[in-house]
Structure 1
């Protein structure tokens, strides 16, 4: 709990530091960007809700083992009272009484008294009421599952698997967000550098254009050379506008990942390239143990196995204990018992082969998931190999571009000297400047591609949270535009 409070406080402090005043540019390190993303990204909040829902479903499945207790109440008004009607017996009973009294077996002096006693009985209603037409009761019942063929155990195992699947999906979301953040964070850094380069080019070409106008007036250069500089000026301004639009786009994307929509961020963590990295087999082995996608496929296979067990349970008898009692009765006959307990058994003999086909379908599902699991493992291995090769390729590009930069820098110096001595035209100087800016930008683009490929490699290996550790490695060489 204390750790969670500290994390919340640190994120709040980070937000406070980043929001000093509206419209102000904020510096943002990659570690701070990761903290903001993990605290505020909506995708992570959705994944957390999914994990909590799966955990509640797991707890709900435990209740299947518990007694089911319910309370019921009812009131009824019947069409008539329930009882036995003996009025049809009055005639035969009266005839029998008269015969006995007239047979001489009863002393004559007692006959009037006996007839006086029988007369009210013969005039009464011979309906024996058992239950009044108006009745009500409040009672409860308890059902305890004793044996359901393994369905309860399978349901609990399935709920635990679903909970683990939700956690794996959350881990996959977090890993994907790290790759997304690296792409957008360094994308902003690259776009800002491109804008700066394009601005420098515009400023440089504008100075050359001013010089070209003066030189043309003095007859030192041809009109076509001045037109060439104007063409380059128009081209540089167009590329600057495009670079600014690209910067706005990637900045909006970064805000979306960070979950902070009101700020402009300036990345301060440099792009980098590693001089040494583990071999591809290392990352493949990590993927087998940590890749959330492979974990989810394995969990789906286990869930399919539980589906087979559920279908197999339909071939078993279903046994449950039950009991009930009445707590309060209104005009309910005392003949009825106030409580009852028992055991119920249900066993399906034949259902049109429905169970057999469902059981067979469940087994086919297991085989299908196993085949998909094999393919997913192979696909992840191929992806790691591809990303690893891309890392090598981008590292080699950077090494090659470094040599090109040295040449472009020396070429620009030579053209500058020649221009000052009148041995080179302004167009030659502009081309040399543009070429140096182009090569430096290509190196930054290669570094961006390298870092993005590394983030995706770590994502495939299931260790995206270690990206910051790679940034801080001793062999991580920062890639700067003007180095």
Structure 2
């Protein structure tokens, strides 16, 4: 069994020579491969295009319009009802003309008679209408709605950028936790392997002492049990490493490579700046607070937009027919320009109520933002205190570590002299291993909470700077 664990340790060493991954490398790979981060970046990109599209409202809108219409019947005017009365009137007039003038009037009346046999209907619109035109519309004044719309789109774009940064900061914190969780598991494995080697050495010594009659068989059995317990802890640590590595590469967004070791070790966080500094940074940069401030500005613009509903809209319009056929007589067959105005004078007090709604939303955002700023100060204080607590724990554990190492030395010497039992030696080794692991756990907690503190302050990008200070 000893040879099996030696082989495992050699395999881990070989893997470390094959490929290494620093925290900075892991961060760069996460920024390029994490699908969630890419999705939020696409949302930011979409918001920026929306902002650009809103700027077009300041410019004239030019379009080409073509249409074809088929009427059920041609449009016409009928004068047939006047035909008979007019014909009768001419006949009566002819009878009233004096005889000397009859020869001159009768030829004229004869030439008019064929007209009365015709259909007195005038067709002024054929059934098929074809139109092709260029149309212009340019909003000259909209009560400020265009300007407000552009400001709103800009604010939404800024909110999307903050959301992207918030997501990235959150992922950096998660990456730091997963990365150093792997390191913690690997350090725990190293400690457990060392404990296993010590237990095996003690077991070997116990067998020799038993043969020489220096210790009872029960002491050898206790030493063997300590080896079995140490082997179980090593196997558990190996599983912990596998799970931690799977979680790490899940955050990075890549498949777990077979040969990888992490080169950035657990580190003690350098003395921090005063807590007031981090509280101020959080007040200014915490993404949720920044978004709340932007949303407050959105509500300001919403109030202005609702007030703009009381003002008229004025637009310049123009049309030029490029080609037409059978165009209605009511439409000019050339070009037309004009100015249009629309003004809603009364709509059941809807505009007034919308203004009150916008004001209420603005006050709500103000209150929520004020409370968030207070809460974030408490959160920063908690995270800052946790780091300092772990620093104190680490300093205390260093003294305990020296004591545990001395205890192991004394117990081994006492066992060799027959003054101590195998249980005492095993307990001393377990105590030493537990203290070493607690030291690494304290470092892990410091590194994890530091990432959370920087995330709260909106300074996650500076996390790698703290690694360089170790």
* TM-score, normalised by the number of residues in structure 1: 0.88
Distance (whole Å) between structure 1 residues aligned to residue 79 and residue 201 of structure 2: 126
1:384-433 CA distances to partner (integer Å, 9 max, x unpaired)? 11111111111101100000111111111111222222222222222212
SS in 2 for 1:270: coil
User: Could you tell which deviates more after superposition, 436-445 or 456-465?
Assistant: 456-465
User: Could you tell which deviates more after superposition, 244-253 or 227-236?
Assistant: 227-236
Could you list the runs of 5+ residues in structure 2 that have no partner in the other structure?
1-13
Match of 1:284 in 2: 279
User: Could you tell which deviates more after superposition, 141-150 or 436-445?
Assistant: 141-150
Cα deviation for residue 281 of structure 1 reads 0.5
Q: Please provide the CA RMSD for this pair.
A: 2.3
Distance (whole Å) between structure 1 residues aligned to residue 269 and residue 107 of structure 2: 126
User: Could you tell which deviates more after superposition, 53-62 or 248-257?
Assistant: 248-257
Q: Is 1:420 aligned to 2:416, yes or no?
A: yes
Q: Is 1:93 aligned to 2:86, yes or no?
A: yes
Decide whether the 8 Å contact of 2:139 with 2:315 is kept in 1. yes
Cα deviation for residue 278 of structure 1 reads 0.9
Q: Is 1:163 aligned to 2:141, yes or no?
A: no
User: Could you tell which deviates more after superposition, 232-241 or 308-317?
Assistant: 232-241
Q: Which residue of 227, 232, 249 maps to 1:255? A: 249
Q: Cα 1:380–1:197, aligned 2, differ >3 Å: closer, same or farther?
A: same
Q: Cα 1:174–1:79, aligned 2, differ >3 Å: closer, same or farther?
A: closer
Cα deviation for residue 129 of structure 1 reads 1.6
Query: How many residue pairs are counted as aligned between the two chains?
Result: 454
Decide whether the 8 Å contact of 1:189 with 1:266 is kept in 2. no
Distance (whole Å) between structure 2 residues aligned to residue 366 and residue 112 of structure 1: 92
Match of 1:136 in 2: 130
Decide whether the 8 Å contact of 2:269 with 2:447 is kept in 1. no
Match of 2:396 in 1: 400
Q: Which residue of 238, 247, 257 maps to 2:232? A: 238
Match of 1:55 in 2: 48
User: Could you tell which deviates more after superposition, 270-279 or 54-63?
Assistant: 270-279
Distance (whole Å) between structure 1 residues aligned to residue 403 and residue 43 of structure 2: 56
Cα deviation for residue 128 of structure 1 reads 1.5
Match of 1:471 in 2: 467
Could you list the runs of 5+ residues in structure 1 that have no partner in the other structure?
1-20, 477-483
Cα deviation for residue 190 of structure 1 reads 0.9
Q: Cα 1:333–1:347, aligned 2, differ >3 Å: closer, same or farther?
A: closer
Distance (whole Å) between structure 1 residues aligned to residue 169 and residue 74 of structure 2: 74
Q: Is 1:42 aligned to 2:38, yes or no?
A: no
Cα deviation for residue 330 of structure 1 reads 1.5
Distance (whole Å) between structure 2 residues aligned to residue 231 and residue 23 of structure 1: 32
SS in 2 for 1:352: coil
Q: Which residue of 426, 432, 439 maps to 1:430? A: 426
Decide whether the 8 Å contact of 2:222 with 2:422 is kept in 1. no
List, as ranges, runs of 4+ consecutive aligned residues in structure 1 with deviation greater than 6 Å: 21-24
Q: Which residue of 438, 442, 445 maps to 2:441? A: 445
Distance (whole Å) between structure 1 residues aligned to residue 239 and residue 384 of structure 2: 32
Cα deviation for residue 347 of structure 1 reads 2.1
